[in-house]
């Protein structure tokens, strides 16, 4: 497959992502990548692009890219440059998992895309190493760790967090990536499906960094953990049926030393909207406020990101000149770069 035939559709919007790579509703041979911030479709040619629009939610704008523009978009996507948490690293793993699931289906598109996906992973790693390595870790886990370690910059409402137990709610993809970053004397895990929390506990125990305990015993045990934990990190969506009880339990609790509450709730399942009934809690950091914090980037960080964006465009032009080509090597190539 020639890179000129690559067609990519992109829908941006917060939604609950599918746990496995979605099958095409229209019966098309299309590679769909679904994350909580977007849905992306990869197709061969634009022949079926109109039909493929049915794979996306009806609201919002659908962007369309072809050829090297499509490859450049995929590179930005894989490098985390399209993510709200700019340059985050989880997205690379999510795309790899999605690709593995899609390629196992063995469709003609899976075979045609295969060499391009390998180049994409190689180029994304190169760009990350060259331009984004010194940005500092940009995983959700690293940001949560920073939040739990640092007192509020204005120092007004929240005292410095303590190092008592941290309660992690959830055992899905996000919880798994955040868990290893959590500090505290002990890590408590609660999940609706208890076996998933037990699996996560076993994984974490292999690292043996701190004691890990699974909270068993239903809703009462969960609420008791909300009362007793110093910090809570929530990696499940907001839940209208249970959130009020969770908030009441948090408010009813005290710090591990018996004094006033000093920790934080970091709720990654709450987007910019839908904060109620959490908004009354001064200790709350939602995903939206985490993004806002990160938006106040230093100039240096902005310059590095600009260079990474440029590198994605440059790599895509080079790949369009020939799959094996990764460095500019002739006078003709200069014409292609003139427009960058």
> Which lies closer to ligand NAP via its Cβ, residue 107 or residue 289?
289
Cβ contacts of 47 within 8 Å, gap of 6 or more: none
Q: CA 278 from chain center: how many Å?
A: 22
**Residue 172 binds ligand NAP, judged by CB under 6 A:** yes
Q: Does 288 bind ligand NAP (CB under 6 A)?
A: no
Query: Based on CB atoms, which residue is closest to ligand NAP, 12 or 192?
Result: 192
Tell me the two tokens of residue 66.
């072809």
d(CA 278, CA 286): 9
Residue whose CB is less far from ligand NAP, 37 or 53:
37
48 vs 146 by CB, closer to ligand NAP = 146
Q: By the 8 A CB rule, do 30 and 52 touch?
A: yes
Q: State the Cα–Cα distance between residues 215 and 197, nearest whole angstrom.
A: 9
Q: Which pair of structure tokens corresponds to residue 273?
A: 């909207």
Q: Does 82 bind ligand NAP (CB under 6 A)?
A: no
Q: From the CB of 86, what's the least distance to ligand NAP, in Å?
A: 13
- Cβ distance to ligand NAP smaller for residue 152 or 239: 239
Q: How far is the CB of 146 from ligand NAP (least distance, A)?
A: 16
Stretch that binds ligand NAP, among 20-28, 125-133, 189-197, 327-335 (CB under 6 A): 189-197
Contacts of 111 (CB under 8 A, 6+ apart): none
Q: How many residues line the site for ligand NAP (CB under 6 A)?
A: 21
Binding mask 139-168 for ligand NAP (x = CB under 6 A): -x----------------------------
Q: Which is nearer to ligand NAP, 265 or 287 (CB)?
A: 287
Among 193, 216, 303, 322, contact with ligand NAP (rule: CB under 6 A): 193
Closest-CB residue for ligand NAP? Answer: 172
Give how far Cα 93 sits from Cα of 83, 139, 174, Å.
14, 12, 12
Residue ranges in 259-278 that form contacts with ligand NAP under rule CB under 6 A: 268-269
Residue 248, beta-bridge partner list: none
Query: Is the Cβ of residue 70 or residue 197 nearer to ligand NAP in the bound state?
Result: 197
> Contact letters (x/-) for ligand NAP, 198-237, by CB under 6 A?
-------------------------------------xxx
DSSP letter string over 55-119? Answer: GS-SSS-EEEEEHHHHHHHHHHHHTTTTSSSTT-SHHHHHHHHHHHHHHHT--HHHHHHHHHHHH
Contacts of 171 (CB under 8 A, 6+ apart): 189, 191, 193, 196, 197, 199, 200
Q: How far is the CB of 196 from ligand NAP (least distance, A)?
A: 4
Q: Is 196 in the site for ligand NAP (CB under 6 A)?
A: yes
Nearer to ligand NAP, 43 or 95 (CB): 95
The one segment of 185-193, 207-215, 219-227, 295-303 that binds ligand NAP by CB under 6 A: 185-193
Reported as type and span, the H/E element at residue 234 is strand 231-234
10 Å Cβ neighbour count for 21? Answer: 18
- Interface with ligand NAP, residue 22, by CB under 6 A: no
Ramachandran bin of 274, using left for φ above 0, alpha for ψ from -120 to 50, beta for the remaining angles: left
Kindly list the residues in this chain that would bind ligand NAP in the complex (CB under 6 A). 19, 36, 90, 140, 170-175, 191-193, 196, 235-237, 239, 268-269, 287
């Amino acid at each position: 497959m020639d890179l000129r035939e690559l067609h990519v559709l992109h829908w941006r919007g917060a939604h609950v992502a599918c746990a496995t790579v979605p099958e095409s509703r229209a019966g098309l041979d299309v590679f769909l990548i679904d994350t909580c911030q977007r849905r992306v479709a990869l197709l061969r040619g634009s022949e079926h692009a109109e039909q493929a629009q049915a794979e996306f939610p009806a609201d919002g704008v659908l962007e369309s890219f072809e050829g090297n523009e499509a490859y450049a978009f995929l590179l930005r996507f894989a490098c985390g440059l399209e993510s709200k948490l700019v340059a985050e690293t989880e997205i690379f793993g999510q795309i790899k998992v999605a690709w593995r699931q899609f390629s196992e289906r063995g469709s003609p598109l899976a075979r045609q895309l295969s060499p391009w996906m390998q180049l994409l992973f190689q180029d994304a790693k190169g760009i990350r190493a060259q331009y984004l390595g010194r940005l500092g870790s940009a995983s959700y886990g690293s940001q949560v760790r920073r939040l739990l370690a640092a007192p509020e910059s204005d120092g007004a409402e929240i005292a410095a967090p303590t190092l008592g137990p941290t309660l992690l709610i959830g055992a899905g993809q996000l919880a798994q990536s955040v868990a290893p970053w959590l500090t505290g004397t002990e890590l408590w895990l609660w999940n609706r499906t208890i076996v998933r929390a037990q699996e996560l506990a076993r994984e974490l125990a292999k690292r043996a960094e701190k004691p890990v305990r699974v909270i068993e015993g239903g809703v009462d045990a969960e609420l008791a953990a909300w009362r007793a934990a110093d910090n809570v990190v929530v990696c499940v969506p907001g839940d209208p049926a249970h959130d009020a009880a969770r908030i009441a339990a948090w408010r009813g609790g005290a710090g591990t030393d018996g004094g006033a509450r000093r920790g934080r709730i970091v709720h990654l399942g709450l987007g910019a909207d839908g904060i109620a009934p959490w908004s009354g809690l001064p200790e709350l950091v939602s995903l939206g406020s985490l993004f806002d914090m990160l938006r106040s980037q230093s100039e240096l960080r902005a310059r590095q990101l600009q260079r990474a964006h440029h590198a994605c465009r440059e790599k895509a032009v080079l790949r369009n000149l020939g799959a094996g080509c990764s460095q500019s090597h002739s006078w003709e190539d200069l014409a292609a770069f003139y427009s960058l």
